[in-house]
């Protein structure tokens, strides 16, 4: 599982390997001076101090994603210019996001604690996310869109937490 996740990311990065000093090859016969690769990791890419048992494959894959993004960003950092936009590679690392993946965890908390959905969410977030607020997929998407803008030409190799303060602890 870890290998397949990291291999997918590595193959995507290899497609952008530079063959000329000022341009990157992103496909057969396709060369660019402007390329944005934004990966979605998870807060586990950054929260190494908060690793926990039983999720070793998930955490390992997320660490690999963040690390591979940083290395690839360094490999392509000199391509292009401020005018062309250059090549940037970043990783967004969300904490709790209001998605179908989180819904069963909320339902389980609600049942175990015998509380409302809102109270179950608050109890779940209180453990790690100081803001006590879920992010929305749209918020994560807006950050990804901004990272793709030409003005973001010097933001590369970052793992950006959107975690309500989780990694600040």
Q: For the segment 64-117, what is each residue's pLDDT rounded down to a tens digit? A: 888 888 888 898 888 878 888 888 888 888 889 999 989 999 999 999 999 999
pLDDT of residue 125: 92
DSSP label of 28: T
What are the phi and psi torsion angles at 28 (to 5°)? -60, 115
Which are the catalytic amino acids? 58
pLDDT of residue 122: 94
Instruction: Kindly report the average pLDDT of the chain as a whole number.
Output: 78
DSSP label of 33: S
- Within 8 A by CB and 6+ apart from 153, the residues are 80, 82, 85, 86, 88
H-type alpha helices, 29-126: 56-76, 103-113, 117-126
Q: Where are the domains of the chain?
A: 2-93+152-168
What is the value of pTM for the model shown? 0.74
Rg (CA), the chain: 18
* Beta carbons of 69 and 135 less than 8 angstroms apart: no
3-state DSSP assignment of residue 123: helix
């Amino acid at each position: 599982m870890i290998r397949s996740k990291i291999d997918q990311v590595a193959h995507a990065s290899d497609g952008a390997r530079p063959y000329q000093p000022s341009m990157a090859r992103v496909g057969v016969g396709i060369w660019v001076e402007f390329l944005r690769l934004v990966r979605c990791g998870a807060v586990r890419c950054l929260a190494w101090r908060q690793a926990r048992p039983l999720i070793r494959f998930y955490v390992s894959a997320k660490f690999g994603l963040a690390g591979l993004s940083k290395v690839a960003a360094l490999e392509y950092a000199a391509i292009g210019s401020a005018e062309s936009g250059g090549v940037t590679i970043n990783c967004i690392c969300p904490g709790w996001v209001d998605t179908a993946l989180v819904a069963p965890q909320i339902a389980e908390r609600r049942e175990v604690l015998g509380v409302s959905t809102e109270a179950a969410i608050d109890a779940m977030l209180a453990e790690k996310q100081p803001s006590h607020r879920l992010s929305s997929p749209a918020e994560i998407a807006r950050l990804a869109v901004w990272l793709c803008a030409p003005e973001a030409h010097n933001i590369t190799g970052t793992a950006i937490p959107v975690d309500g303060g989780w990694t600040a602890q």
